[in-house]
Structure 1
Amino acid sequence: MAIGKQIVDFYIESSIHVALAACALILLTFSGLNTSYDASVVAFGFFGTIAAYNIIKYAPLISSKKYFLSPRNRLIGILSLSAFGVAIYCFMLWQTASQIVAIIALLLTLFYSFSFFGRGHSGRNWVGYKIFLVALSWMLITFMMPVVAKEVTISVKTLLLAFQRFVLVYALMCVFEIIDVQFDTLNLKTLPQRIGVQKTKQLGYFLLLLYLGIDAIIQSQWIFLDFFFIVIIAVFLYFSHEKKSKYYTSFWVESIPIFWWLAQKMFTYF
């Protein structure tokens, strides 16, 4: 049992799980656009997410020599460097437009994570910007990159779908924000800290309804499947509170896009 927990913990803490969630959203984008998959975009989403998330999580600890004494940490370090190399390779295969989207997403991630204006002035410390920057960077990687890579015409429908992806990620982030209340310092001024847990949930419900409203406007062929998973997210949001286990978000909530894509693939065969 202990070995199983160690494997699951490594799977989560090495960012493999969140990377699979990113891949699932990219694949859902290709499906929603009715285009073929681009393997380099999917690979970049997976390996780029591993590299970026691990840099964010472990860069502050790398300066400590003790960090590398742990075999687990060394393995995460090797995985991260390898993932970074593959992401760079995928990046070099693209046209300039796709590279620009990836660079903008990277800059948003760096701005969110690190201070460029002195101590305590990274994007996450700007009141109200943390969740916005995360949702925007995920929208760029999981939606705009597939759009640009496949040279999809930017229409009103495409813009609505981009906004819909932003809304979805923002709603999911509401769950993370509530769970993280127990860890976030007061100076972060996160959403639950500013408006309270209950109002954060209400905002999440509104965003989920907005997602379904966009589905109705564009007459999505997947509206019933989308409704099912939006209800699941609403349930997770309803039961979220600051005392929940880390697995509630880092495993179960991040699994939703993966099951969403698997369900869509299953229905395409019937």
Structure 2
Amino acid sequence: MALSVVSLTWITLLEYDVLFDRDLLFFIFFASISGYNFVKYFGIVKFHHRRLASWLKTIQVFSFFCFLLMFYYVFKLQVETLYFIVGFGVVTFFYAIPFLPKYLYLDGKQNLRNVGGIKVYLIALVWAGVTVFLPIINSDYPINVDIIITGIQRFIFVIVLMLPFEIRDLIYDSLKLATIPQKIGVKQTKIMGVILLFLFFVSEFFKDEVAYRNIVVTALICFVTSLFVIFSKKEQGKYYSSFWVESLPVVWLLFWLLIN
């Protein structure tokens, strides 16, 4: 997951010919690991801290060192970038920490993660912000119409990436979560994914600067991603979503590096 977030950030640097920013990419890598493990394992550690399994203790130690490295690299970034980071840090914190009033939360869980219908959009918003606007702000690059379109594209792309996960989790998710497949069904979810990818591709032509390489790379990643959406199902292989779908941003980056 962390490599995928870094890949999407690197793609932004390539697309706008921004100098390679190693410190930013390292910060995003370690922040992604720290944030993901915090969200995923906070509840488990909270209720079972006295008898944690050895694998969970290992994850805790690993996450701690990643957090320290994140803290080291954050001071190498622009001051303006830090304000932006704080905003997304707050969202990540409340994504896992209970704070909502009882009439909004599900199954006794008072965090943003369990508010019906917003999970996928919240994740897409954070990913789009971190991988598009963070590198742009840190590089003092002006935010223009093209940047905003790229942010919208990234938001759409991450939503599409989430669809195979939501289809897989149909048998586990509470109906109160109101995920996209729960609301419209698997077939309609796949159709929605393909339509979103079409919009993602077409929006490339609305940018002020339309480059042939961008069109080719966008078409390639849309095609590959659409196949994964179309062939996703509830009974997936262990690595279908958790590895192959999640690695699509890395594939997208490889397309970019090959074209360049």
Scaled by the length of structure 1, the TM-score of the pair is 0.87
Shift of 1:125: 2.5
SS in 2 for 1:152: coil
Deviations 1:11-57 (A, max 9, x none): xxxxxxx1011111110010011111211210111111111111111
Q: Which residue of 2 aligns with 1:187?
A: 176
Task: Identify which range, 115-124 or 130-139, moves more after superposition.
Answer: 115-124
Matched residues in 1 for 2:232 and 2:146: separation? 33
Written as runs of structure 1 = structure 2, the 5 A alignment for 1:1-270 is: 18-63=1-46, 64=48, 65-67=50-52, 69-70=53-54, 72-118=55-101, 119-218=108-207, 219-220=210-211, 221-268=213-260
Deviations 1:119-153 (A, max 9, x none): 43322232221111000000111111001000111
Contact 2:39 2:95 in 1 (8 A): no
Q: Which amino acid aligns with 2:186?
A: V
Contact 1:109 1:133 in 2 (8 A): no
Over aligned residue pairs, what C-alpha RMSD do you find? 1.5
Shift of 1:175: 1.9
Contact 2:181 2:189 in 1 (8 A): yes
Task: Identify which range, 220-229 or 146-155, moves more after superposition.
Answer: 220-229
Contact 1:174 1:204 in 2 (8 A): yes
Contact 1:50 1:83 in 2 (8 A): yes
Matched residues in 1 for 2:96 and 2:167: separation? 19
Contact 1:19 1:50 in 2 (8 A): yes
Matched residues in 2 for 1:124 and 1:200: separation? 20
Shift of 1:253: 0.5
Deviations 1:47-104 (A, max 9, x none): 111111111111112231221x41x323222210011111112222222321121112
Matched residues in 2 for 1:43 and 1:176: separation? 27
Contact 2:8 2:253 in 1 (8 A): yes
Matched residues in 2 for 1:132 and 1:97: separation? 25
Scaled by the length of structure 2, the TM-score of the pair is 0.91
Matched residues in 1 for 2:89 and 2:188: separation? 31
Give the helix-richer structure, 1 or 2.
Answer: 1
Matched residues in 1 for 2:243 and 2:12: separation? 22
Which segments of structure 1 move beyond 4 Å, counting only runs of 4 or more?
none
Percent of residue pairs bearing the same amino acid type: 31
Residues paired across the two proteins, number = 249
Matched residues in 2 for 1:86 and 1:53: separation? 15
Shift of 1:255: 1.1
Question: What are structure 1's unaligned runs of at least 5 residues?
Answer: 1-17
Contact 1:41 1:146 in 2 (8 A): yes
SS in 2 for 1:94: coil
Contact 1:182 1:243 in 2 (8 A): no
* Cα gap change, 1:140 to 1:240, in 2 (>3 Å): same
Q: Which amino acid aligns with 2:65?
A: S
